[in-house]
Amino acid sequence: MKFPVPPSVVPVDNILPDEPLLMMGAGPVPIPHKVASANSVVINHLGDTMNKVIDQVKTMARYVFQTSSSHVMGVSGPASAAMEMAIANLVEPGARVLSVCNGVFSRRLAEMVTRVGGEVVRLDAPEKECARAEAVAEMLKQGRFKVLTLVQGETSNTVWNRELVEICRLGKSHGCLNVVDAVCTLSTMPMEMDDWLVDAVITGGQKGLSSIPGVSLIAFSDDAWSCIERRNAPMAHWCLDARLADQFWDKKAYHYTAPVSGILALHEALRLICDETLPIRFRRHAVCSAALQGGVEAMGLKLLIAPESRLNSVIGITVPEGIDANRIRHVMSELHKVEISGAFGLNILRIGQMGEQSRTHNLFRTLHALGSAMRIEGGKVNMPAGMAEMERILASGA
Ligand SMILES: *Cc1c(COP(=O)(O)O)cnc(C)c1O
């Protein structure tokens, strides 16, 4: 034996804080108790019980994606694995892809294209602005593309691609398959896969859906599916091969051992969404996000993105000169047990409004923690004005 003595570690309970942190960052987000409890069960990954679960997950996912496509499947892995599944299956080596980029996640899609041998042309939106359909139309005129990729919401800089519907219409009219990353937005704002001519929609568990991280969802349109069936180039990825995954998700046969507990959690998360209904859920997110934005501004802080390109699902706050975003996060976490996010390199703070984050009690606790941390770090904020404005917007339901 090279290592005869086992390592000495403490149980996980001793590592976790006594008081769980309120997860108000860019994901993962808090999960409802029922989702946590579904996630604690292990069942056979094949057989009648699992088949029922799979059928219902697909039925509910169709509602959430607003599609009648039968090619809806779960993916074992982060949302990035679902992104990779879309790209790896739809892009053959040498295929030209137009990647509309706003930030980290949309550029990740572009990089994935390059890695599977696709030829990517990037259209970068101006900083802090949504991508314009006009600019996409210009690019589409210049050359034939097989696939167009874009994000609905760019979590990294909190930009909303509000012209997505028009961009997808353009993509389709130029013969592209439209691949849309709806990871942070799905079930927080409208996404109508069929009506908007989207060919692949990707989402993760840990954001809008308020499920656990590591089990994701993807839906392919009939057009996307026939492209996958016609594919000649070999698939480098075995786990992410959509035709193999279909064995499990459609034919109920073995592909790999499905993450049964995670799928049960996803089932419960989707069921709660169906219970709430999409219009009411969208409204809840819109009101809560507006209240948070209004509260932050009334407190005297600035939001990063102008209203016309601003995402509701994650809001970006500019940190005043001389104050360190990391210090603010540290104080919020240590003192108030509220966790929010920084950003990739920018001195900003990001607060999520996805799923369970969009609850009145979580909003007040978060805004208070933010204001208090700002004061402690020497910032000038008007906390009463912020709280009052938040309360006013919530009460007016606007
Ligand atoms: C979080 C996020 C991802 C990546 O999700 P992972 O589960 O970390 O892989 C991709 N796209 C967007 C828009 C996201 O918000």
**Residue of 160, 181, 215 to test ligand 1 pocket, by largest number of atoms within 8 Å of CB:** 181
Using the atom order of ligand 1, give the atom closest to the CA of residue 205: 7
Q: What is the band of 18 on the pLDDT scale with cuts at 50, 70, 90? A: confident
Coil vs helix vs strand at 150: strand
Q: What is the pLDDT of residue 357?
A: 98
What six digits make up the tokens of 287?
Answer: 């009101």
Ligand 1 geometric centre to CA of 250 (Å): 26
Choose among 86, 35, 238, 315: nearest CA to 97.
Answer: 86
**Can you tell me the mean pLDDT for 249-260?**
94
**Can you tell me the mean pLDDT for 223-245?**
96
Residues 6+ apart with CB under 8 A from 387: 295, 364, 367, 368, 371
**Residue of 155, 159, 203, 314 to test ligand 1 pocket, by largest number of atoms within 8 Å of CB:** 155
Using the atom order of ligand 1, give the atom closest to the CA of residue 27: 1
Buried residues in 118-144 as b, exposed as e (16+ CB within 10 A): bebebbebeebebbbbebbeebbeeee
In the β-sheet with 200-203, what is the strand arrangement from edge to edge?
Answer: 71-76, 215-220, 200-203, 177-181, 147-151, 96-101, 119-124
Q: What is the pLDDT of residue 398?
A: 62
Using the atom order of ligand 1, give the atom closest to the CA of residue 204: 7
Ligand 1 geometric centre to CA of 49 (Å): 30
Q: What is the pLDDT of residue 345?
A: 79
Ligand 1 geometric centre to CA of 105 (Å): 7
Cα gap 3→83, rounded to integer Å: 40
Choose among 234, 230, 186, 226: nearest CA to 210.
Answer: 186
Ligand 1 geometric centre to CA of 384 (Å): 35
Q: What is the pLDDT of residue 95?
A: 97
Ligand 1 geometric centre to CA of 382 (Å): 34
CATH of domain 12-27+278-396: 3.90.1150.10
**Can you tell me the mean pLDDT for 67-81?**
97
Cα gap 375→371, rounded to integer Å: 6
Nearest CA to ligand 1 atom 12: 183
Ligand 1 geometric centre to CA of 181 (Å): 8
**Residue of 105, 108, 210 to test ligand 1 pocket, by largest number of atoms within 8 Å of CB:** 105
Q: What is the band of 147 on the pLDDT scale with cuts at 50, 70, 90? A: very high
Using the atom order of ligand 1, give the atom closest to the CA of residue 154: 13
Ligand 1 geometric centre to CA of 183 (Å): 6
Dihedral of alpha carbons 368, 370, 375, 379, sign: negative
Using the atom order of ligand 1, give the atom closest to the CA of residue 216: 7
Cα gap 378→380, rounded to integer Å: 7
Using the atom order of ligand 1, give the atom closest to the CA of residue 153: 13
* Cα Rg of the chain, angstroms: 22
**Can you tell me the mean pLDDT for 260-279?**
98
Q: What is the pLDDT of residue 316?
A: 98
Q: What is the pLDDT of residue 137?
A: 98
Ligand 1 geometric centre to CA of 32 (Å): 20
Global pTM value: 0.97
Tell me the pLDDT tens digit for each residue of 35-67.
999 999 999 999 999 999 999 999 999 999 999
| CATH for 33-275, options being 3.40.640.10, 1.10.10.10, 1.10.760.10, 3.30.420.10 | 3.40.640.10
Nearest CA to ligand 1 atom 2: 183
**Can you tell me the mean pLDDT for 129-147?**
96
**Protein residues whose CB sits closer than 6 Å to any atom of ligand 1:** 27, 78-80, 105, 151, 153, 155, 181, 183-184, 204, 207, 213
Question: CATH 3.40.640.10 spans which residues of the chain?
Answer: 33-275
Q: How far is CA 162 from CA 64, 167, 310, in A?
A: 19, 10, 9
Ligand 1 geometric centre to CA of 66 (Å): 21
Tell me the pLDDT tens digit for each residue of 344-356.
778 899 999 999 9
Answer whether residue 225 shows pLDDT above 70. yes
Residue 384 carries which DSSP code? H
H helix intervals, the chain: 12-15, 33-38, 48-65, 79-90, 104-115, 133-142, 164-173, 222-230, 242-249, 260-276, 278-298, 325-336, 360-376, 383-396
Answer whether residue 83 shows pLDDT above 80. yes
User: 6 preceded by cis ω (within 30°)?
Assistant: no
CA 272 from centre of chain: 18
Q: What is the pLDDT of residue 294?
A: 98
Percentage of the chain exceeding pLDDT 70: 100
Answer whether residue 166 shows pLDDT above 70. yes
Average pLDDT of the chain is: 97
**Residue of 184, 211, 216 to test ligand 1 pocket, by largest number of atoms within 8 Å of CB:** 184
Q: What is the pLDDT of residue 307?
A: 97
Query: 120 with 113: CB under 8 angstroms?
Result: yes
Ligand 1 geometric centre to CA of 260 (Å): 22
Answer whether residue 70 shows pLDDT above 90. yes
Ligand 1 geometric centre to CA of 300 (Å): 30
Question: CATH 3.90.1150.10 spans which residues of the chain?
Answer: 12-27+278-396
Ligand 1 geometric centre to CA of 86 (Å): 14
Using the atom order of ligand 1, give the atom closest to the CA of residue 206: 7
* Bridging pattern class, strands 200-203 and 177-181: parallel
Tell me the pLDDT tens digit for each residue of 25-41.
999 999 999 999 999 99
